[in-house]
Structure 1
């Protein structure tokens, strides 16, 4: 997964306030619950010397995703009295937090973006037209077409482009050609890796027959064609997508994991463990940062002003000639900044699938031998 969406958080030097809180709407008085959570986090920020203007900037954004139904969370960042970034999270944070420090606490936000799989959903349903309408020369049956794109799992609470239209059933042969062309374009431009089809069997099957061979491997036909009401602010077919996509890696990420395994077989000391990871990020040599889930980083790192100013000890940064550096208590934040600043990708893999020393590893852009 690319980390460029984090760039605004690194555009200006800290200090910066980072807040994660549960903003779910599945309670009777959700606004009151969010207000109480924010009250406690606000007190914590002020107690840790956050300035009032920055706290006020956060307050203006906290709980603003009221249009999103169900359980979810929010990540909010502000610095120097200005809001920098606010995002709705597909899951409430495992632990609510409010930190004020030189680096933004981006680990949880980045992990909730993974695996960032681009997909599309197409739902096709026949709709009977009322007799009084059909009786005036109109069709007695129409086809309802819903299309939506997204990137899983963030699309659960931030769906992508959505279209809805109805056409006469006899106009479907022409419409299916246009729709297939749209899906093929999505594979080229957005990198769509899965197209989920649901609804009327005749329409779905005819779309599958019309699809060119390059689309065939991406098409997934759902057996359940029931038309359910869509929840406000949520992805189409969210439950079905969770079954299909949770625990899956992007195609590119699977290749990256294979590359890591090959590199580890030759030179494990260069690619696995915290020391190897820090060394690779220092040199801008990491193509991909790999983190185990759950993340278990428990050692402080030392950092300086630049993303590559990263070390296991302050003495190491001093030996590089740095005069300004500090001990960073959030090692995940330091690793994510270094990865983003050196254009490295991020992959998170369940620990039981890929056990890693220290829970961290890298794929090297090149090797020294």
Structure 2
């Protein structure tokens, strides 16, 4: 998961209100239910010490969701009387709506609720062109059409010389249209930042288009035969998206396993466990953070200062480093703050459900930038 969108959360000091709102149940009384939820969440924040202005800002923002609710939910990060960030969720919060008031924003759940949600471009390909559709857990929408050359596009079975010339024109038309479709699909991927390209159509047409895509996109391509009524069923899209997420997690684990193996000098390119990760974060060595939310280390307490690289396992360590102010925080959220500020990525291990020695001990690990 690219964490760059979280930067606004670390440009201002805490404490922060982190409010996860479930909007997945739609009914005539949705607006009324969200109004009750807003009041309950405001009271919860107040009980934990949130200031009145922030409680009021959160309540108003949750009430507004009754007019334009997302299909699954939304998370609100607020401080000092205003909501700073409010990303949509790709799936409902498991424990329903909840609020937290803490020195750091509670961002770790986003890895599962919003992070592993690949955007897919479904390209319905034929010899004359293609229709593009954007699909994600939030629904689908039209993403454009490519119209290629319309004549000639069909072969004949004659062996006459003139007919063979006609067939050559057919081949040229197919090639031209495949190039047009591939170019347009590449542009659409750049504009939407899609993670996955699903080619739908006859086998030859899919192969022709895939072969003309830039090499950087080849590992993002999945293929499917014609859908029902000209449209790929939702269950097929979800199956392909789930396979893509699983493969992405497995690739991340493969990178971690390879980096974990010591080199000839006994140095490892991976870290696991809170102490090793805290040290790596302080040294700006995080490249990719791996988190299993139910791991024993995810909720361990660490100590943080005002800056992202000011963190320690014990409070006395921060004082030794010259940091006068310090607060307790969850290890996963503290490490994610460091990852955001260092430009590192993060990956939830939940979709692959890994276990045993193949995963980071305690549920927290990282691939490092240098050993």
Deviations 1:165-184 (A, max 9, x none): 48699378565432211234
d(CA) in 1 for partners of 2:139 and 2:186? 23
Q: Is the partner of 1:178 in helix, strand or coil?
A: helix
Please report how far the alpha carbon of residue 74 of structure 1 lies from its aligned counterpart in structure 2 after TM superposition. Answer: 1.3
Q: Kindly indicate whether the alpha-carbon contact (under 8 Å) linking 2:42 and 2:55 is maintained by their aligned counterparts in 1.
A: yes
Alignment correspondent of 1:290: 290
d(CA) in 2 for partners of 1:277 and 1:108? 19
Please report how far the alpha carbon of residue 224 of structure 1 lies from its aligned counterpart in structure 2 after TM superposition. Answer: 5.5
- Please tell me whether residue 260 in structure 1 is matched to residue 259 in structure 2: yes
* CA RMSD across the alignment: 3.8
Structure index of larger Rg: 2
- Please tell me whether residue 60 in structure 1 is matched to residue 60 in structure 2: yes
| TM superposition score normalised by structure 1 | 0.76
User: Where has structure 1 moved over 6 Å in runs of 4 or more?
Assistant: 187-191, 228-231
- Please tell me whether residue 87 in structure 1 is matched to residue 90 in structure 2: no
Please report how far the alpha carbon of residue 249 of structure 1 lies from its aligned counterpart in structure 2 after TM superposition. Answer: 0.9
Alignment correspondent of 2:325: 324
Q: Please point out which of 180, 203, 223 is paired with 1:221.
A: 223
**Aligned pair count?**
338
d(CA) in 1 for partners of 2:270 and 2:227? 50
Deviations 1:43-98 (A, max 9, x none): 1012223223222322333263866675x121111111122011111111122321
Q: Is the partner of 2:261 in helix, strand or coil?
A: helix
Deviations 1:100-158 (A, max 9, x none): 222111111234343465643213589xxxxxxxxxxxxxxx9872332x7xxxx4227
Please report how far the alpha carbon of residue 269 of structure 1 lies from its aligned counterpart in structure 2 after TM superposition. Answer: 11
Alignment correspondent of 1:248: 247
| TM superposition score normalised by structure 2 | 0.76
Q: Please point out which of 178, 196, 199 is paired with 1:197.
A: 199
Alignment correspondent of 2:137: 156
Provide structure 2 residue ranges, at least 5 long, that are not aligned to the other structure: 154-173
Q: Please point out which of 347, 352, 357 is paired with 2:355.
A: 352
d(CA) in 1 for partners of 2:42 and 2:312? 32
Q: Kindly indicate whether the alpha-carbon contact (under 8 Å) linking 2:70 and 2:88 is maintained by their aligned counterparts in 1.
A: no
Alignment correspondent of 1:11: 11
Shift of the 158–2 alpha-carbon distance from structure 1 to 2, 3 Å rule, reads: farther
Q: Is the partner of 1:24 in helix, strand or coil?
A: coil
Shift of the 261–228 alpha-carbon distance from structure 1 to 2, 3 Å rule, reads: farther
- Please tell me whether residue 275 in structure 1 is matched to residue 275 in structure 2: yes
Shift of the 228–47 alpha-carbon distance from structure 1 to 2, 3 Å rule, reads: farther
Shift of the 46–303 alpha-carbon distance from structure 1 to 2, 3 Å rule, reads: same
Q: Kindly indicate whether the alpha-carbon contact (under 8 Å) linking 2:198 and 2:221 is maintained by their aligned counterparts in 1.
A: yes
Q: Is the partner of 1:45 in helix, strand or coil?
A: helix
Shift of the 78–23 alpha-carbon distance from structure 1 to 2, 3 Å rule, reads: same
